[in-house]
């Protein structure tokens, strides 16, 4: 039986104690400011206790947002379809407790607690268990580089958790120089892999973690703790293109933003923002990417910054390639997908390159039938914070040619509006209709070809 509790901490000698959630709670009774729930993490009885995962070279990732699919129970309904499509792994956007019930998940403040609006810890385990029954791995995106702006009570009673001398785009930097801070996040990763039997983790924006040796300690601890017969895959998002992190047996792969960015330029002709670094010699850059992994391997960008390390020695499976994902779609002002940004023939050709490349491909929910529904940035904050996010979101695009005047920026959807979330729900019901069936058939065919002809050749690339 679950028990709801809240813990009292003394914030300062001259203040009364404040009720705050347990920072390592497995669940909340309500939202981030409600009582924490004590649960038995071993209560769930696994139907597939002998599942050991799948080798990395077999991976075809499918990124999805659990909330947009109706929570953990809603995601379960789509598992047979995804297995038939040719996907071998689903990747969940972050599921840790965040403010409200609508959020991408990167505003999480309780890393150990499962978002209550998605379901209970046991319901998440049921999803993972059923995915394994279909031969699907389950990956989770975890955020160790920052906490969200609302509900981070750690700052009130554990000030040493954060640095005053270093600020990230999301606020004060987490102080990974502190052993207890490292342990907090390492234990979190182990929880997901052991208690939830996840097959892999994707570590968000590790370039924002100042102590790079923490990443090594994290990976080494996981590898030492998890039985070697289990296939556990650790994937990075890292703007730094630090190839040396992929040169050992610790981290499996990295999301290859270079691949996406140069492909996006070739498909759309867009040149603003970070795409400007990929405009010159786009086709030779793509060739370098296909043959060597990263495009930026210590090269200097148009903005005068050098980044990256040589990557040609790495196998192609060290890179996750994608045409779309939550960031590249949702961080557009209007959340447009490639299906409305480029012509169908060009997108079909790019899809062939994605799915038959030796890099590990990632699909974003709805991509496979050419959905034209946007994926927008959405939140459910209190009104004060909602207004700040609304204004910040519009200011972010003030230098883009399509949003130079205030009136045009007012057309950017309000992140806090329910309609913004509802517009982002994928239209699964249309995928077999005449307008979309040919696109879906193409993905099915290409994935069959990949599993038949490409995957066997990746065992020892």
Phi/psi at 174 (5° precision): -70, 135
Give the pLDDT confidence of 84-117 residue by residue, as tens digits: 999 999 999 999 999 999 999 999 999 999 999 9
pLDDT interval class at 17 (50, 70, 90) = low
Which residue did the predictor score with more confidence, 68 or 392? 68
Which residue did the predictor score with more confidence, 48 or 461? 48
How far is the C-alpha of 151 from the C-alpha of 148, rounded, in Å?
Answer: 7
Q: Which of 372, 381, 363, 432 is nearest to 149 (CA)?
A: 381
How far is the C-alpha of 261 from the C-alpha of 322, rounded, in Å?
Answer: 10
pLDDT at 16 over 90: no
Distance of CA 46 to the CA centre of its chain: 26
HSE (side-chain half, CA atoms, 13 Å) at 371: 22
Instruction: Answer for the pair 82, 136: CB distance below 8 angstroms, yes or no.
Output: yes
pLDDT at 13 over 80: no
Report DSSP state, residue 151: -
pLDDT interval class at 10 (50, 70, 90) = very low
Query: Active-site residue numbers?
Result: 204, 237
Pick the most confident of 122-136, 164-178, 289-303: 122-136
Which residue did the predictor score with more confidence, 8 or 403? 403
Give the pLDDT confidence of 219-238 residue by residue, as tens digits: 999 999 999 999 999 999 99
pLDDT at 31 over 70: yes
Residue 194's Cβ-count burial label (10 Å; 0-12, 13-18, 19+) is middle
Which residue did the predictor score with more confidence, 395 or 127? 127
Residue 303: per-residue pLDDT: 76
Report DSSP state, residue 49: T
Indicate if the alpha-carbon torsion angle 409, 364, 313, 349 is positive or negative: negative
How far is the C-alpha of 35 from the C-alpha of 171, rounded, in Å?
Answer: 26
Q: Which of 451, 322, 88, 123 is nearest to 79 (CA)?
A: 88
pLDDT at 266 over 90: yes
Pairing of strands 3-5, 7-9: unpaired
Residue 8: per-residue pLDDT: 31
When computed from its CA atoms, the radius of gyration of the chain, rounded to whole angstroms, is: 22
Domain boundaries, the chain: 51-458
Whole-number Cα distances in Å, 242 to 211, 254, 316: 13, 9, 15
pLDDT interval class at 461 (50, 70, 90) = low
| Contact partners, residue 219, CB within 8 Å, separation at least 6 | 234, 250, 251
Report DSSP state, residue 115: P
Residue 7: per-residue pLDDT: 35
How far is the C-alpha of 86 from the C-alpha of 83, rounded, in Å?
Answer: 5
HSE (side-chain half, CA atoms, 13 Å) at 356: 15
Give the pLDDT confidence of 428-451 residue by residue, as tens digits: 999 999 999 999 999 999 999 999
**How many residues comprise the chain?**
461
How far is the C-alpha of 41 from the C-alpha of 445, rounded, in Å?
Answer: 41
Residue 170's Cβ-count burial label (10 Å; 0-12, 13-18, 19+) is middle
- The pair of three-digit structure tokens given for residue 84, joined into one six-digit string: 């038939």
How far is the C-alpha of 105 from the C-alpha of 211, rounded, in Å?
Answer: 24
pLDDT at 11 over 70: no
- Burial call 81-113: b when 16+ CB within 10 Å, e when fewer: ebbebbbbbbbbbbbbbbbbebbbbbbbbbbbb
pLDDT at 279 over 60: yes
Least confident of 221-235, 291-305, 334-348: 291-305
- The pair of three-digit structure tokens given for residue 27, joined into one six-digit string: 């669940």
Look-up: residue for tokens 């991408």?
Answer: 104
Instruction: Answer for the pair 315, 409: CB distance below 8 angstroms, yes or no.
Output: no
Whole-number Cα distances in Å, 296 to 151, 324, 332: 37, 20, 23
Averaged pLDDT score across all residues of the chain: 93
Alpha helix (H) residue ranges in 226-281 = 257-268
- The pair of three-digit structure tokens given for residue 412, joined into one six-digit string: 């950017």
Region 166-190: what's the mean pLDDT? 93
Whole-number Cα distances in Å, 373 to 45, 338, 376: 38, 10, 9
Whole-number Cα distances in Å, 59 to 150, 310, 454: 36, 24, 11
Instruction: Answer for the pair 157, 150: CB distance below 8 angstroms, yes or no.
Output: no
Instruction: State whether CATH 3.20.20.80 applies to domain 51-458.
Output: yes
Residue 404: per-residue pLDDT: 85
Percentages helix, strand, coil for the chain (3-state, rounded to 5) are 40, 15, 45
């Amino acid at each position: 039986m679950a028990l709801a509790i809240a813990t009292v901490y003394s914030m300062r000698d001259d203040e009364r104690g404040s009720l705050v959630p347990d920072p390592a709670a497995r669940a909340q009774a309500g939202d981030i400011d409600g009582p924490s729930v004590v649960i038995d993490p071993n209560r769930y009885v696994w139907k597939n206790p002998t599942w050991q995962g799948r080798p990395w070279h077999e991976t075809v990732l499918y990124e999805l947002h659990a909330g947009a699919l109706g929570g953990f129970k809603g995601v379960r309904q789509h598992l047979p379809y995804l297995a038939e499509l040719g996907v071998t792994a689903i990747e969940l956007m972050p599921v840790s407790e965040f403010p409200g019930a609508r959020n991408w998940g990167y505003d999480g403040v309780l890393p150990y607690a499962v978002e209550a609006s998605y379901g209970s810890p046991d319901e998440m385990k049921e999803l993972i268990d059923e995915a394994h029954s279909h031969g699907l791995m389950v990956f989770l995106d975890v955020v160790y580089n920052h906490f969200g702006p609302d509900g981070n009570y750690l700052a009130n009673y554990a000030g040493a958790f954060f640095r005053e001398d270093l600020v990230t785009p999301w606020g004060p930097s987490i102080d990974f120089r502190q052993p207890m801070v490292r342990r907090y996040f390492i234990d979190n990763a182990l929880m997901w892999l052991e208690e939830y039997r996840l097959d892999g983790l994707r570590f968000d924006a590790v370039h924002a973690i100042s102590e790079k040796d923490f990443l090594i300690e994290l990976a080494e601890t996981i590898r030492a703790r998890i039985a070697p017969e289990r296939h556990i895959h650790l994937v990075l998002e890292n703007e730094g293109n630090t190839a040396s992190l992929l040169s050992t047996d610790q981290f499996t792969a990295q999301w290859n933003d270079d691949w996406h960015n140069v492909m996006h330029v070739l498909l759309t002709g867009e040149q603003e923002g970070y795409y400007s670094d990929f405009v010159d010699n786009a086709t030779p850059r793509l060739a370098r990417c296909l043959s060597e992994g990263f495009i930026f391997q210590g090269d200097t960008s148009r903005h005068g910054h050098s980044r990256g390390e040589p990557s040609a020695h790495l196998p192609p499976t060290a890179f996750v390639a994608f045409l779309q994902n939550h960031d590249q779609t949702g961080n557009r002002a209007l959340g447009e997908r490639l299906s409305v940004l480029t012509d169908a023939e060009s997108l079909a050709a790019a899809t062939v390159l994605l799915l038959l490349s030796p890099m590990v491909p990632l699909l974003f929910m709805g991509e496979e039938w050419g959905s034209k529904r946007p994926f927008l940035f959405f939140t459910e904050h209190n009104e004060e914070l909602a207004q700040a996010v609304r204004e910040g979101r519009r200011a972010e695009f003030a230098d883009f040619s399509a949003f130079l005047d205030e009136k045009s920026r007012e057309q950017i959807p309000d992140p806090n509006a329910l309609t913004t979330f509802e517009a982002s729900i994928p239209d699964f019901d249309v995928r077999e209709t005449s307008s979309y069936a040919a696109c879906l058939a193409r993905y099915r065919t290409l994935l069959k070809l990949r599993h038949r002809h490409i995957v066997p050749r990746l065992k020892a690339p």
